[in-house]
Structure 1
Amino acid sequence: MPAEVEAYLRGTGWVPFDLRPGKASYWEYIGSRSSEEFTVTCVLDRSMRDYAERTAELLALVGRVECRSSGEVYQSVRDVGYDVAELQIERADARDGTIPLRDGVKAFEGALKLYAAAAAAVSERRPYFGRLLTGSVSKFVSKSARLGQTRVGSYVITIATRVADAQRELPFAVPTEAFERQVMRRMATALEVARQAAVKNTAQAFFDGIEHGVSANLCDAVAGMAEGDPFVQLNVALQWSLVQPVEHGVPRHLSFGPELVNNLREGSAHLRFQEPLSGFQLIGKVVRLERWPNEPAGTVGIDGFVDSETELVSVTLNKEDYAVATESHRAGAVVMCVGELKKTGRGYSLLGAHSFGVVGGGQAATTLSRRVKSEEPI
C-alpha cells in the first residue's frame, strides 16, 4: 500500500520534499486555483502503531484537494498500477443500480467481446474476426483482464488490466508497452473512430476505421451491451495507470446514445462481409437458374439467410448439383450448401460450394430462418 500511495501522489501533482527511508515520506501540493499549500505524510512502515490512522488522514486530505471522498481516493490508489475501463449502461430502469438479469448477461458478454476484439486488433487489423478467443487473445481475457466490483451510476461494469507495479518512476523510458496497455490503447482508439463512423453513418466511414482497430466484432460488442432498452446509452470512461501515464490526446470518455448504437449495428453488417466467411452454411430456396447452352455446370441464385436477413446469394454448382437445384426450384424445396461467403457489390457469392442438397419444403422454408456457420464469432 505505501508504494501505491506514493505512486498516486506523484502521478497527481504532489511533490516530495523530505524522505526518511523505511519510515515516511513527506509531500506537498499547491492548489492550482489558489496559493493554498497542503502537506501529507506517507507512512512507509506498516508495522508502525499509527500507520492506519496516518494513512486515513492522508486519504481524507487528498480527497479534500480532489473534492472526492476518502473511499473514492482509496479506490484510485488501489488501482494506480492498472488501466481501468468503466462501462456505464445508462437506462431508465437502472437508476437503482440494477438491470434485468437477461440484459445484464448480455452486457457482460459484450464487455468480454469488446476486450477480445481490441486484443485481436493489436496485432492484426481485420473487418471481422471469425473466431476471437484463440492464442494471446484467449490468454488476455482469461488472465490479464480482471472484473472489478460493479457500482451504482445506472449500472457500471468495471474492468482492470495491470500494466505496471506501483514503484518509483524509472530513470529511462520503457522500450515497449505491456500487451495489456496496447490492448487498452487499441480499444480507446477503435471506440473513438467507431463513434465517429457511427456519426457519419456511411459504410465507407466504417471501412476507413479498420486500420484503427474498428471491426464488426467491436461494433457488435458495444451494441450488445446496450441490448434490452431502445433508449439505452453506453458511456465508457477510461482511466490510465498513473505509473505509466499516457499523453493527453488519448480518449478518456466516450458516449454512445441510442442512434449511434443502431448505426454501429449497421456498420457491423457492412464490415462483417468485407472478408470472406469460411465454412458458411447457406440455407434457402433456389429462385434463379443460369446456365450457358451446352454447359453442364451453372449458377443459381439462392434466397438464403445471411446474418438473420434474407439475401440473394449466387452459387456456382457442378452438373449433378445443378440438376438437384433445378428440381428443388420446380418443387419449391429448401436447399443447403456450404462454402466461403463473400460480399460482391450489392450481393453475395458462395465460393467453393459443396455438400449441396435438399433440406425440405413447405413449412421448412419458414422455420430454417437463421444463419449457421462452422466458426462461431467468439
Structure 2
Amino acid sequence: MTHLLLPKVSAVPTPLELSSYLRATGWTWALRRGAFDVFKRNDDELEVPQIDSARDYVRLVGQLIDDLSKVEQRPPAVIARDVRASVVDTTRLALKGAEMRDGTISIAKATAAHDGTRNLILAAACSVLDRRLVHPKRKPDKALEVLKTTRLGQSEMSSFVITLETPVAPRLQLQSDFFEGDDAPIERRTTLLLADALAATQEAALQTMALGSIDPFKQMAHRGVSANLCDAIAELLTETGAEFLDTSVSFAVHRPVARPPPTHTIFAASQATTLTEVARVLRAETPLPNQELIGLVVALDSGNTDKGGTFWLVVDLEGRLRRVGVKVGADDYHRAVEAHDKGQLLSVSGDLVSKAGKLSLERSHDLSTLELD
C-alpha cells in the first residue's frame, strides 16, 4: 500500500484539524486513550494523536489518513486537503481564459492578479467595519490585520486559480445570523461578507444594465458593495486578460454557518468596464466623512472677513494634486490668511464632497497650521 507522505511539518494536519474534520464527517469522540483521542462512527474506530511534538507524530497522522482513505474510499491526498480545509475559510478566485488554460500566467499579470486579490479582501474587511460605498485610501488597522492572517494556498490546473485560506476560531454555539454579530472573529465576518458582496455586485451589475441607473449599487451598500470592491473585480479581469472571474467561498466546518450567503459568483470580462465606471461615479458622488487634508492655501475669498469666507487648498489625493474649497468662520479664515501669507501648510478635517467635478470640504473642523521642514 502507498502511504501519504507528509515531508514538511507545515503540511502535517494538527490535532485540532483532524478532530474538526472527523466531527464534521459524522465521527463522535468516544474517549481518551493515553496520548490519543478515540473517535467512533458505526463500527469503525480511529485514534487521533494529540501530541504533535511527538517524534512519531508524522507517521501516526499518515497512518490515520490512510485508514480514513479506506473508510471513505477516497485518495489520501484528497482527504489531507479536506482535513486542512476544516479549520479555514477558503476563497477560490479562478481566472479563466485562453491564456490560462494550462494553469500558468505571466509574472506581470500574476502580480496584477495578486494586487487585485489583496484589494478584494481589503474592500470586504473595510465593509465589515463600516458599510459605506467608498472606503478612503487609508484603511483601518483591523482591516489590514485580515491580510496578515489570510494565506495563499496552492494553485490548480486548467486555469490560474488563487486560493486564499483564512484561519477562523472554532465556534461552540450556533448563531442564527450568518454575519454572527460584531463579536465574531473579523476573519469569518470578512469571508461571509465577501461571498455576499460578490453576489450582490453581480445582481447590481445586471440591474444597472437593465435600468441604466447606478441606484442598484447604492442600494447594496448594506451587503458590502463598494467602489473599492468594484475596482478590485475589474482589476482582476482587465489587468490579467481573463475572460471570466469564477469566485467561490467555503467555510471552515469547525465554525458552522447557520444561513450561508451565496457562495459562487462568476463575472465576465465584458462587465469590467461597467464596474470601473460604477466605481468612478460612486467616488464622485459619495462624500468621504472625516477626512484630514494637509496642503497649501492657494486662494482666498471673502466679502467680509469678520464673517469668515472660503479658501482653497492644494492637496495630494491618491497621488493627484487636487484643489479643495473650504468654507469657514471668521477665526479659521484669519488662520488661513496667515498660513497663505507665510507659506505654511494647513491641516483641516471634514467631509470631502465632489460636485460637478469640484471638491469641497464640508463641516470643517480642527484647522491648524504646520511648519514646513
Same fold (TM over 0.5): yes
Relative to 1, partners in 2 of residues 1:268 and 1:62: Cα closer, same or farther, differing over 3 Å? farther
Q: 2:188 matched to which residue of 1?
A: 181
Structure 2 CA distance for partners of 1:350 and 1:2, relative to 1, 3 Å: closer
Check if 1:6 corresponds to 2:11.
Answer: no
Is 1:78 paired with 2:71?
A: no
Distance in 2, Cα, partners of 1:200 & 1:56: 48
User: After TM superposition, what 4+ stretches of structure 1 lie above 3 angstroms from structure 2?
Assistant: 17-24, 45-50, 169-175, 228-231, 276-281, 313-317, 339-344
Alpha-carbon spacing, 1:120–1:314, altered in 2? closer, same or farther (3 Å): closer
Partner of 1:170: 172
Matches within 5 A, 1:201-240: 201=208, 202-228=213-239, 232-240=243-251
1:6-45 correspondence runs (5 A): 6-12=19-25, 14-16=26-28, 18-21=30-33, 22-28=35-41, 39=44, 41-44=46-49
Given the alignment of the two structures, is residue 253 of structure 1 paired with residue 267 of structure 2, yes or no? no
Give the secondary-structure state (helix, strand or coil) at the position aligned to 2:238: coil
For residues 287 and 278 of structure 2, the distance between their equivalents in structure 1, rounded to whole angstroms, comes to 17
Q: Give unpaired runs (5+ residues) of structure 2.
A: 1-13, 296-316, 328-349, 362-373
1:261/1:62 CA distance change after superposition, 3 Å: farther
Q: Distance in 1 between matches of 2:28 and 2:359?
A: 67
**Aligned CA-pair RMSD:** 3.6
- Give how far 1:43 is off: 3.3
Count of matched residue positions in the alignment of Structure 1 and Structure 2: 287
Question: Which residue is 1:133 aligned to?
Answer: 139
Task: Report percent identity of matched pairs.
Answer: 27
Q: Shift of the alpha carbon at 1:315? A: 8.4
1:157 positional shift? 0.8
> Whole-Å Cα distance in 1 between the matches of residues 186 and 29 of structure 2?
35
Find 1:61's aligned residue among 70, 77, 92: 70
Alignment of 1:108-147 (within 5 A): 108-141=114-147, 143-147=148-152
- In the TM superposition, what whole-angstrom CA distance separates every residue of 1:159-191 from its partner, at most 9, and x where no partner exists? 1111115xxx73687983111111111211211
Q: 1:98 to 1:132 in 2, by over 3 A?
A: farther
Give 1:248 shift: 4.5
Shift of residue 52, structure 1, vs aligned partner: 4.4
Q: How far apart, CA to CA, are the structure 1 residues paired with 2:109 and 2:199?
A: 24
Q: How far off its partner does 1:59 sit?
A: 3.8
Q: Give 5+ residue unaligned stretches, structure 1.
A: 30-37, 282-305, 308-312, 318-338, 353-378
Cα deviation digits, residues 306-364 of structure 1 (max 9, x gap): 99xxxxx99899xxxxxxxxxxxxxxxxxxxxx997444xx333336xxxxxxxxxxxx
| TM-score of the superposed pair, with normalisation by structure 1 | 0.65
TM-score by length of 2: 0.66
Give the residue type in structure 2 aligned to 1:212: R
Residues 142-153 of structure 1 aligned to structure 2 (within 5 Å) = 143-153=148-158
Question: Which residue type is aligned with residue 69 of structure 2?
Answer: A
* C-alpha displacement of 1:151: 2.6
**Counterpart position of 1:244:** 255
